Amino acid sequence: MLAGCTPWPAEAAARYRAAGHWTGETLGAFLRERARRFAGRTAVVAGDTRWTYADLDGRADALATGLAGLGIAAGDRVVVQLPNVAEVIEVAFALYRLGALPVYALPAHRRSEIEYLCAFTGAVALVVADVHAGFDHRAMAAEVRGAVEGLRHVVVAGDAGDADGRTALADLRADRPDPAVLADPDPGDVAFFQLSGGTTGLPKLIPRTHDDYLYSVRASADICELGPGTVYLGALPIVHNFPMSSPGFLGVLHAGGAVVLAPDPGPGTCLPLIEAERVTITAVVPPVALLWLDAVAGGSQAHRDLSSLRVLQVGGAKFGAEAARRVRPVLGCTLQQVFGMAEGLVNYTRLDDPEDVIVTTQGRPISADDEIRVVDDADRPVAPGETGHLLTRGPYTIRGYYAAPEHNARAFTPDGFYRTGDVVRRTPEGGLVVEGRAKDQINRGGEKVAAEEIENHILAHPGVHDAAVVAMPDVFLGERTCAYVIARGTAPARSELLGFLRGRGLAGYKIPDRVEFVPEFPATGVGKVSRRELRRAITAELARRADTS
């Protein structure tokens, strides 16, 4: 196993193999097999691009050869920051076939996150789009390259411009792929890194192996009843774990179906695509589901023929029962709630669950070998049906973050259970209901913000003495971010502070939605900042304003 990663104990690994969960299949190899079986069928659709399985397979080999020509080899880390363009799938498989390890950044990340990821993983290359959503990723990549020693290459999907040191992805595709560059990675070893939503000052990296990930992919594809007739719409950024593997584009390619990529999740983009491509299943976060429901129920998309759509997956944040109940009557499809995490465990409501279960629970685990514990603050199991902290361990849940021994000692129990930070209740049928969260994270409609990370950025401002970032309720996103700040001397203007944060190169979704200057923070019994009290204060303040408006 890669240095800095925590393997499963030999006994557990043997059990997962014996149970048939870990099959020895690798990410690069499964596509090869599918390309044989489904050669002429459509694999990927994005804008005007349409690739068959044979096209995708050939492109992955051609690009792998070109990347090898740059000196990228097995074990090298490559930070991949691409929006939903066809190339993101090509790049992923090219890297898997080289045995190089993609580190998947989100399209919304900016210089601060990308630079950290490149430096922390010792990446040799960074793959970016040219311009996406009005942001020039090439310029950002140039800055990152200047700052990170060892980052040798910037590869651009699209127009590389004429600056030095950037390579256009299109120029890398070799005319004649060289099979000698292709590696045969160990299925038990790390295949790539996902990012944790995080609770700490710096994002954590999640190492996923071929064996563990493909188990979750295959099992998810089964649960969602995917097959060669499946047409999946990738509406969310498909490098995120949900649209990548739950069952996501990998599950669809594993089943021989077609993946249609949407450039953004808005109803004006996605609902016409569902109609035109006869999409059968897609995945969104709750705020997007709300927009789609409103657009179809008497809104701008009311005329769409959505009869092909069988399943709408909603996850990443809690989907309220009221909204959940509208999905079947408005969209004419089955809702599937998905409660998952990039660290592993994924829960689904099953397609044939009674409507009440689908609407009021966040599903049950993928696997009979997912171990679930619901415990109190002292790690003791709570009584059945009571609310407690969710701990989990299983065949596709990591045993440790990459190169983070101190954090791992807190984030995992001594016997290897991952502390999810989620507060849940189990139903008698084994379903989970998410009741809250005990981690210092804000869930902004599925986009996760680690309080400590933002606090550190705010603290870098010379006019700030202390900062505490908490969630505040929001009807649309579920939560937004409120930064409580104690000024040093005269308080900086809010706009100046927010401009300062943007200037530090932070992803836009991490910029606080609200800033409150206060003379001091409420304290807990032991003198720590009471975030609970701050959350309560901002919730009360918002309620008071709503009353008077």
Does residue 57 sit in helix, strand or coil?
Answer: helix
Site for ligand OOB in 362-391 (CB under 6 A): 362
282 binds ligand OOB (CB under 6 A): no
At closest approach, how far in Å is the CB of 153 from ligand OOB?
A: 28
Q: Which stretch binds ligand OOB (CB under 6 A): 6-14, 67-75, 299-307, 336-344?
A: 336-344
| Of 259, 281, 333, 341, the one binding ligand OOB by CB under 6 A | 341
For residues 245-264, which are near ligand OOB according to CB under 6 A?
A: 246
Does position 339 bind ligand OOB by CB under 6 A?
yes
Q: Which is nearer to ligand OOB, 84 or 167 (CB)?
A: 84
Cα angle, residue 131 at apex, residues 128 and 136 outer, rounded to 5°: 85
Nearest to 8 by CA among 250, 307, 209: 209
Burial (CB < 10 A; 0-12, 13-18, 19+), residue 473, is: middle
Please, are residues 202 and 506 in contact by the beta-carbon 8 Å criterion?
no
Query: From the list 340, 400, 431, 492, which residue makes contact with ligand OOB (rule: CB under 6 A)?
Result: 340
Q: Which of the ranges 135-143, 264-272, 316-324, 395-403 carries the binding residues for ligand OOB, by CB under 6 A?
A: 316-324
Nearer to ligand OOB, 297 or 321 (CB): 321
| Dihedral over Cα of 359, 365, 368, 371: its sign | negative
**Closest approach of Cβ 355 to ligand OOB, in Å?**
17
Residue 337 lies near ligand OOB (rule: CB under 6 A): yes
Rounded (10°) CA dihedral 27, 30, 32, 37: -160
- Supply the minimum distance, in Å, between the C-beta of residue 339 and ligand OOB: 4
Encoded tokens for 41: 């069928």
Helix (H, G, I), strand (E, B) or coil at 137: helix
For residues 8 and 1, give the distance between their C-alpha atoms in angstroms, rounded to a whole number.
10
Which CB atom, from 30 or from 104, has the smaller least distance to ligand OOB? 104
| Choices 76-84, 162-170, 333-341, 365-373; region in contact with ligand OOB by CB under 6 A | 333-341
- How far is 478 from 539, CA to CA, in rounded Å? 12
Window 228-247: residues binding ligand OOB (CB under 6 A)? 241-242, 246
- Which span sits near ligand OOB by CB under 6 A: 262-270, 314-322, 410-418, 512-520? 314-322
Q: How far is the CB of 114 from ligand OOB (least distance, A)?
A: 18
Residues that bind ligand OOB (CB under 6 A): 197, 241-242, 246, 315-318, 337-342, 346, 362, 420, 422, 434, 437, 443, 448
